[in-house]
């Protein structure tokens, strides 16, 4: 096979920042801003895993980011995890070959991160994994496979907490582990005041601060299977009945698709008090979350943001890779069974919201960029 691997000495002193999904854009935005602030050469590759305006460009607008230097298309056409990852691997590799950066940063556990890390590893570039070391220990989850694989092929593992760093150490990873906090803290700190001032979402929805719940659900294990999704809806119906207050549900396109495919959309719209709305931009979502009395979610990022914003969280999963949020009393992992969810909601409605945030102090981006920009120009394996 023709070798197209760049010579190490020829790599450019620039870093590629790979994004590809809604949370990826949000969590990488502080790094992009920090690289800009320092004048450190960088460019963004958008791997195209998310492509609808409301999961993609809306965040470039809200976060004030320049359009990415590279944006892959055709990923939208793919159906399976392997096929999707392969399409992004090929596209990212082509962009990396063109630019020859010496370092590549990925963030999180979605398929595009595995594609980015693998493309960079194969080209001998320095691989940095932001949000390294998280573990749900649930080997059924695609995100768990991705995290484990990315951690093992990274040169730098930027772990949000000591606990995450310990997970990575226990896995005998090769790279250097640096505990930085999670960049979501940086993102929330930068945007929460703007969100509180600028967003009119509560008025638009006609709801009052402190008098509604927020719901999000998009995980494969919760929405793809008809019986599970139906159970989730019945749980929400019971909750709506019991608490009789608006439950605002900005709905992920995957969930809309599955509700339609399983013939459950009308059941969802028929639940009194359940307010199905389009996915929100970042400022609107932060304002909605900051002012609710409680959030029910299967999202990783929202468990973190709720903890940062002192909002009680009930996680609609059997496990979490963010146990620090549970340890400080900000989050209860309830699963989706109605009795368990109702009992978790009851306990969290009365909880004192005075925990300290265990996932970072808002300097993660500074630490990551500082480490990456001072790595040697040629990397010794
Ligand atoms: C992906 C991640 C998940 C992350 C989530 C963030 C993996 C394995 N999953 O899940 O960890 O929590 O992103 O939101 O990487 N769709 C659209 N428009 C889009 C994107 C998706 O309509 O812009 C619909 C399509 O029908 C698509 C489905 O959502 O088939 C699933 O999208 P995909 O990116 O494969 O997974 P997510 O569920 O978004
Ligand atoms: N989010 C948003 N609008 C919404 C729902 C979520 O801006 O309507 C943001 C939220 O603030 C968080 C991120 O999206 O930062 C979480 O993304 P998601 O739940 O899709 O993925 P996960 O974090 O589970 O990977």
Does 243 lie in the same domain as 96?
Answer: no
Does 204 lie in the same domain as 176?
Answer: no
Does 254 lie in the same domain as 225?
Answer: yes
Confidence of residue 9 (pLDDT cuts 50, 70, 90): confident
Cα–Cα distance, 90 to 115 (Å, whole number): 8
Residue nearest to atom 6 of ligand 2 (CA): 285
Cα–Cα distance, 222 to 347 (Å, whole number): 23
| Ligand 2 atom index nearest CA of 302 | 12
Q: What is the pLDDT of residue 127?
A: 98
| Host domain of residue 238 | 189-349
In a domain, 140, yes or no: yes
Does 158 lie in the same domain as 45?
Answer: yes
Cβ–Cβ < 8 Å for 47, 19: yes
In a domain, 158, yes or no: yes
Confidence of residue 262 (pLDDT cuts 50, 70, 90): very high
Active site (catalytic) residues:
218
Residue % of the chain over a pLDDT of 70: 97
**Taking the CB of residue 280, how many other CB atoms lie within 10 A of it?**
21
Pocket test for ligand 1, best of 23, 27, 47, 49 (most atoms within 8 A of CB): 49
**Three-state SS for 52?**
coil
Does 365 lie in the same domain as 321?
Answer: no
Instruction: Calculate mean pLDDT across residues 75-90.
Output: 97
Residue nearest to atom 4 of ligand 1 (CA): 110
Confidence of residue 148 (pLDDT cuts 50, 70, 90): very high
Ramachandran region, residue 138 (left: φ > 0; alpha: ψ -120 to 50; beta: rest): beta
Instruction: Calculate mean pLDDT across residues 174-198.
Output: 98
Cα–Cα distance, 220 to 236 (Å, whole number): 18
Structural domains in the chain (count): 2
Cβ–Cβ < 8 Å for 346, 312: no
Is the CB of 111 within 6 Å of ligand 2? no
Cα–Cα distance, 358 to 286 (Å, whole number): 19
Q: Residue 71: pLDDT above 70?
A: yes
Does 321 lie in the same domain as 291?
Answer: yes
In a domain, 3, yes or no: no
Does 313 lie in the same domain as 171?
Answer: no
Q: What is the pLDDT of residue 3?
A: 61
Is the CB of 22 within 6 Å of ligand 2? yes
Is the CB of 112 within 6 Å of ligand 2? no
In a domain, 378, yes or no: no
Q: Over the stretch 300-315, which tens digit does the pLDDT of each residue have? A: 999 999 999 999 999 9
Average pLDDT, the chain: 96
Q: Residue 318: pLDDT above 80?
A: yes
Does 146 lie in the same domain as 123?
Answer: yes
Q: Over the stretch 160-170, which tens digit does the pLDDT of each residue have? A: 999 999 999 99
Q: Residue 111: pLDDT above 60?
A: yes
Q: Over the stretch 270-280, which tens digit does the pLDDT of each residue have? A: 999 999 999 99
In a domain, 38, yes or no: yes
Q: Residue 2: pLDDT above 60?
A: no
Cβ–Cβ < 8 Å for 196, 173: no
Query: What's the gap between Cα 322 and its chain centre?
Result: 12
Is the CB of 279 within 6 Å of ligand 2? yes
Ramachandran region, residue 27 (left: φ > 0; alpha: ψ -120 to 50; beta: rest): alpha
Does 267 lie in the same domain as 132?
Answer: no
Nearest to 254 by CA among 222, 280, 214: 222
Is the CB of 280 within 6 Å of ligand 2? yes
Q: What is the pLDDT of residue 7?
A: 74
Residues with CB under 6 A from ligand 1: 21-23, 49-52, 55-56, 109-111, 142-143, 218, 253-254, 257
Is the CB of 304 within 6 Å of ligand 2? no
In a domain, 88, yes or no: yes
Does 112 lie in the same domain as 251?
Answer: no
Q: Residue 187: pLDDT above 70?
A: yes
In a domain, 377, yes or no: no
In a domain, 70, yes or no: yes
Does 118 lie in the same domain as 257?
Answer: no
Q: Over the stretch 85-98, which tens digit does the pLDDT of each residue have? A: 999 999 999 999 99
Q: What is the pLDDT of residue 1?
A: 56
- E strand or H helix at 139, and its extent? none
Please report, for the domain that includes residue 258, its CATH number. Answer: 3.40.50.2000
Pocket test for ligand 2, best of 301, 317, 322, 360 (most atoms within 8 A of CB): 301
| Ligand 1 atom index nearest CA of 257 | 26
Does 222 lie in the same domain as 163?
Answer: no
């Amino acid at each position: 096979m023709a070798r197209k691997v760049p010579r190490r000495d020829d790599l450019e002193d620039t870093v590629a920042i790979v994004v590809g999904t809604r949370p990826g854009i949000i969590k990488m935005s502080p790094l992009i801003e920090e690289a800009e602030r320092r004048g450190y050469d960088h460019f963004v590759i958008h791997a195209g895993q998310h492509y609808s305006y409301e999961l993609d460009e809306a965040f470039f607008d809200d976060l004030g980011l320049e359009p990415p230097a590279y944006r892959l298309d055709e990923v939208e056409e793919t159906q399976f995890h392997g096929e999707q990852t392969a399409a992004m691997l090929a596209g990212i590799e082509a962009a990396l070959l063109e630019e020859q950066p010496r370092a590549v940063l990925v963030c999180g556990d979605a398929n595009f991160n595995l594609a980015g890390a693998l493309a960079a590893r194969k080209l001998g570039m320095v691989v940095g994994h932001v949000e390294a070391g998280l573990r749900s220990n649930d080997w059924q989850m695609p995100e768990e496979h991705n995290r484990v694989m990315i951690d093992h092929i990274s040169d730098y593992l930027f772990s949000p907490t000591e606990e995450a760093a310990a997970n990575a150490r226990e896995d005998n990873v090769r790279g250097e582990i640096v505990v930085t906090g999670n960049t979501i803290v940086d993102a929330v700190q930068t945007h929460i005041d703007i969100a509180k001032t600028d967003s009119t979402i509560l008025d638009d929805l006609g709801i009052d601060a402190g008098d509604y719940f927020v719901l999000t659900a998009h995980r494969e294990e919760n929405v793809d299977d008809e019986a599970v999704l139906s159970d989730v809806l019945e749980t929400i119906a019971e909750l709506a009945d019991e608490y009789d207050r608006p439950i605002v549900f900005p709905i992920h396109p995957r969930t809309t698709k599955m509700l339609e495919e399983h013939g459950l959309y009308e059941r969802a719209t028929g639940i009194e008090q359940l307010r199905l709305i389009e996915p929100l931009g970042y400022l609107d979502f932060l304002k909605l979350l900051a002012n609710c009395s409680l959030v029910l979610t299967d999202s990783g990022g929202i468990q973190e943001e709720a903890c940062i914003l002192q909002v009680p969280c009930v996680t609609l999963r059997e496990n979490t890779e963010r146990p620090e949020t549970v340890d400080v009393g900000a989050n209860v992992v309830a699963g989706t069974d109605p009795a368990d969810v109702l009992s978790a909601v009851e306990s969290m409605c009365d909880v004192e919201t005075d925990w300290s945030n265990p996932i970072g102090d808002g300097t993660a981006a500074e630490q990551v960029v500082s480490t990456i920009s001072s790595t040697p120009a040629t990397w010794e394996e």
